[in-house]
Amino acid sequence: MTDQSDNAASVRSEPMPPWRWAYRLLRVVVMLLMAYWLSNSGDAFFYQGF
Amino acid sequence: MNPTIDLTTPGFWLVALLAMAVMTPITHGALRRWVWACVNLLFIAWMLRLRVVEVVAGVAVAHLALRLLTCRGWGLLIALGGLASTVGLFVLHKLPGVSQGMGTSVVNPLLLAVGFSYVFLRLIDAGRVIYEGGRAPPDLPSTVNYLLPFHMLAAGPIQSYEDFVDQPAIPKPISAVEALSGVERIALGLFKKFVVAYMIRKVFLTEFYVTGPYFLFEVQLHYLWIYLDFSAYSDIAVGIGRLMGVHTPENFDRPYLARNMIDFWDRWHISLSLWVRRNLFIPVQLSLARRTGGKRALMIATLAFTVSFLLCGLWHGISWPFFAWGAMHAFGLVVTNAYRYWLTRRLGRKGVKAYKEKLIYRLLAQLGTFQYVAFSLVIIVYPWKDLWS
């Protein structure tokens, strides 16, 4: 059992319905876009008074 | 300058995509090993800007030494010499100012390569396993692949040599769902590192230039930040490994739920914990047990925990804060072990099981362990110099 045991369980539970595919792909895209945006915008994203 | 692995540079991801593209279709074991070695060396040359000829020379020396470990008569000599030189190089590299002072000499890239803390641990693990006869020594491409896997260089995990050797030469083709789960791990790692951990650091952390209640608040968030940032590297490594068909061990199992320090080290940086167990704790414990004829088990475990975690602290960095961090963890492990021993004697096994199942005790134990770990991490980063001055 590790941090990602849910993922491992989902790998075993094929076949996956299309809506589940779409949801998981959308989640990946959102996470990647946010990571890309913040890693590029850097300090400009944040209020400089912190 | 020490080489660093920057996940924000396109180069890292280009190498990862190249590895997935060229390794997945290969169905010949030896060819796959060589291609994988070429990808790792490309990464070393391109991303870390180390001179490949010198790194290959260093790997070749390690390869030869690992093979000689199996020679009758010479094995012990090679093992001791190899151990002394590897530890010597590692210590030289870790000492402040030494590797920088060597400029561009031939030894410097080798020091940098061996100085990668995780490479050092892998070399020791392989040496021990081969010397004990547990597994055969690797061929040259496997030596490159075991010591310098590009996706595990940044922050582990530390694959055991047995695990590396035992993985199939040609992995099973991955399904679309498995590929998606690999991509999800990478995305999750990037999200944890560049969104959640980054925002926590940026918004809440002051590097402990605060006092009062905010200091206590920052201690909690600092632990959370380290967990998110560190485990993110492991997520990315596991995801890339899954897509390439290279087994990459898991490194974290919800450490914030740990109910004591032994439980914590079963959940935090698991691959380092297992390395310490295999290469420090068990050898020290066995050696002492032989001398005492199996008596004084608690005393032996205490000594083994102390030696293991003081060295573990110094592996992170040769400095007083890391030594103190190692000492604090050794103390926590020793106390946990002694308490467990005392509790079992007092309540019996059934009594201990009933005791552990009580919710209030579990919550208190988890809270106490969380605080202990969080404060131990503060020791490493607290601005002690400013405090003294």
Determine contact, residues B120/B114, Cβ cutoff 8 Å.
Answer: yes
**Residue B53 or A12, more confident:** B53
Q: pLDDT tens, B148-168?
A: 898 888 777 999 999 999 988
Q: Tell whether B191 lies on the interface with A, counting CB pairs under 8 A.
A: yes
Q: Cβ separation of B195 and A1 shorter than 8 Å?
A: no
Cα–Cα dist B312/B285, whole Å = 16
What integer pLDDT is reported at residue A50 of this predicted model? 35
**Residue B212 or B389, more confident:** B212
The CA R_g of chain A, rounded to the nearest whole Å, is: 17
What integer pLDDT is reported at residue B111 of this predicted model? 58
Closest partner residue to A4 among B190, B195, B250, by Cβ? B250
Q: What is the mean pLDDT of residues B210-214?
A: 86
Nearest CA distance, B351 vs chain A (angstrom): 26
SS (H, E, C) B21-60: HHHCCCCCHHHHHHHHHHHHHHHHHHCCCCCHHHHHHHHH
Q: pLDDT tens, B368-382?
A: 999 999 999 999 888
Q: Tell whether B254 lies on the interface with A, counting CB pairs under 8 A.
A: yes
Is residue B360 pLDDT above 80, yes or no?
yes
Q: pLDDT tens, B103-140?
A: 445 555 555 655 567 888 898 899 899 988 888 899 99
Q: Tell whether B210 lies on the interface with A, counting CB pairs under 8 A.
A: no
Cβ pairs A/B, distance under 8 A: 70
Is residue B1 pLDDT above 90, yes or no?
no
B228: closest chain A residue by CA: A3
What DSSP letter does each residue of B355-368 carry, written as one string? Answer: HHH-HHHHHHHHHH
Instruction: Please report, for chain A, the start and end positions of each structural domain, with discontinuous segments joined by +.
Output: 15-39
Provide, as residue numbers in chain B, all residues whose Cβ is less than 8 Å from the Cβ of A4: 185, 235, 238, 250
Q: What is the dihedral of CA B20, B66, B318, B303, to 10 degrees?
A: 110
Q: What is the mean pLDDT of residues B42-67?
A: 81
Q: What is the mean pLDDT of residues B6-12?
A: 77
CA atoms within 13 A on the CB side of B116: 25
Provide, as residue numbers in chain A, all residues whose Cβ is less than 8 Å from the Cβ of B187: 27-28, 31-32, 35
Q: Cβ separation of A14 and B175 shorter than 8 Å?
A: yes
Provide, as residue numbers in chain B, all residues whose Cβ is less than 8 Å from the Cβ of A28: 180, 183-184, 187
Cα–Cα dist B344/B352, whole Å = 6
B249: closest chain A residue by CA: A2
Q: Cβ separation of A35 and B235 shorter than 8 Å?
A: no
What integer pLDDT is reported at residue B81 of this predicted model? 78
Q: A43-47, B16-20, B285-289: lowest mean pLDDT where? A: A43-47
Of B13-17, B51-55, B131-135, B184-188, highest mean pLDDT: B184-188
Indicate the pLDDT class of residue B101, thresholds 50, 70 and 90.
Answer: low
List of residues 6+ apart from B382 with CB closer than 8 A: B208, B321
What integer pLDDT is reported at residue B15 of this predicted model? 87
Cα–Cα dist B240/B227, whole Å = 20
Q: Of B379, B281, B272, B265, which Cα lies nearest the Cα of B324? A: B379
Nearest CA distance, B361 vs chain A (angstrom): 23
Q: pLDDT tens, B335-358?
A: 999 999 998 988 888 888 888 888
What integer pLDDT is reported at residue B210 of this predicted model? 81
Q: B57-61, B108-112, B260-264: lowest mean pLDDT where? A: B108-112
Quote the distance between the C-alpha of residue B245 and its chain's center.
Answer: 21
Is residue B51 pLDDT above 60, yes or no?
yes
What integer pLDDT is reported at residue A13 of this predicted model? 57
Q: Cβ separation of B194 and A39 shorter than 8 Å?
A: yes
Alpha helix segments (H runs only) across B256-319: 261-265, 270-276, 282-292, 297-316
Reported ipTM: 0.77
Mean of the per-residue pLDDT values of chain B: 86
Determine contact, residues B298/B338, Cβ cutoff 8 Å.
Answer: yes
Percentage of the residues of chain B whose pLDDT score is greater than 90:
43
Is residue B263 pLDDT above 90, yes or no?
yes
Q: Residue B389 to residues B66, B96, B113, B312, B383: CA-CA distances in angstroms?
A: 49, 21, 36, 29, 10
Q: Residue B68 to residues A34, B63, B111, B132: CA-CA distances in angstroms?
A: 51, 9, 22, 13
Q: pLDDT tens, B222-240?
A: 999 999 999 999 999 999 9
Cα–Cα dist B261/B267, whole Å = 10
Look at chain B and count its residues: 389
A2: closest chain B residue by CA: B253
Q: Cβ separation of B195 and A28 shorter than 8 Å?
A: no
What's phi and psi for B116, nearest 5 deg? -55, 115
Q: pLDDT tens, A1-50?
A: 455 555 555 555 558 888 999 999 999 999 999 888 887 765 544 444 33
What integer pLDDT is reported at residue A48 of this predicted model? 42
Q: B35-44, B53-62, B315-324, B347-356: lowest mean pLDDT where? A: B53-62
